[in-house]
A and B are shown apart, each in its own frame.
Chain A
Amino acid sequence: MSNLEDDLRIALRREEPAADFTERVLARLNQPFAEPTWRERLAVLMRPPRLQWAALAVIVSITIPAATVRYRNEVQYRAEGERAKAQLLFAVRVAGSKLHRAQRKVLETGRTGTRL
């Protein structure tokens, strides 16, 4: 028989637990569960290096530039919209004033009996 088989047999041989194993396990189970304090939670979060920090860095590096671009686009969109609105109202006023002038002239012509 090879040494490997002997080693495996030794490694996998049945071992009886200690006499007080069951009591110790039951004792641990019966202990009241203590909620971690905020300090403990913070300590868990702060423990470097942490995946949370890496994830946070990724989120911040994506969201802040994205939010900045979105904000700038929104500001630009509003500015263009307000400018277009002002131009439209101006155009309507100009058209209105010219129509008004034409109407006034037509009415004046009508009063004096002159045909256009």
Chain B
Amino acid sequence: MKILGILALFALVGTAGYGQALDLKGLEKLAAKARDVTDVELDGSLLRLAAKFLSADDPDQAKVKKLVAELKGVYVKTYEFEHEGEYSESDLASIRTQLHSPAWSRIVGIQSKKERDNTEIYLRTGGTEPGGLAIVCTNPKELVVVNIVGKIDLEELSELHDLGVPKIDIEKKPAKPADKKDND
């Protein structure tokens, strides 16, 4: 629950401004080794185009439309491998270097020895252009990197239950009382 609280805090902090996309080109060499590759690159113009084709009648699509209105890019790369060991941690080095910059904060880091997978979630909270989400998931046969660029509201994201997004309990900060102008 503590993590969710932190997530909520960053959700509030991270809803201002826009971010820059991660450079994911370092992963492209893995495509030759992977059994299945999925590559989604939606920049701002493609996102606006996609939003035009989202149905306002479908509740989930309407929510996605609202969510992407403030986004500058959505990038997803997934690699599924036939055998273990077909990629190494060094393949992720360039991404980790970017995510270790002060602009990014790791809000969740899970290492499962049982399932042998790692999940890390980062929020872009600093830098000149704050805003953005990065998810890095690795297991011996799979590598997934998601980068959402721009002002992302996790509360809106969590409303997309039917699209697989979990409900996130976001604790909102109480509104600041209005400044008193009259001192008498």
Please name all residues of chain B whose beta carbon is closer than 8 Å to the beta carbon of A94 when the two chains form the complex.
Answer: 38, 40, 76, 78, 144, 146
Kindly identify which residue among B40, B53, B121 contacts A81, using a CB–CB cutoff of 8 Å.
B53
Give the size range of B's interface with the partner: 35 or more
Indicate if A95 sits at the interface (CB-CB under 8 A).
Answer: yes
Task: Knowing A91-B146, A92-B64 are in contact, say whether A85-B76 is a contact too (CB < 8 A).
Answer: no
At the interface, yes or no: A89 with Cβ under 8 Å from chain B?
A: yes
Across the interface, B110 reaches (CB within 8 A) one of A92, A96, A105, namely A105
A102 and B164 form a contact (CB under 8 A): no
CB contact between A98 and one of B38, B40, B135 (< 8 Å): that residue = B135
CB-CB under 8 A from A85, the residues of chain B are 50, 53-54
Could you list which residues of chain B lie within 8 angstroms of chain A, going by C-beta atoms?
1, 3-4, 38, 40, 42, 46-47, 49-54, 61, 64, 67-68, 74-76, 78, 108-110, 112, 119, 121, 133, 135, 137, 144, 146, 148, 157, 160, 163-166, 168
Q: Known A-B contacts: A85-B53, A96-B163. Give 4 more (CB < 8 A).
A: A88-B42, A88-B47, A88-B51, A94-B76
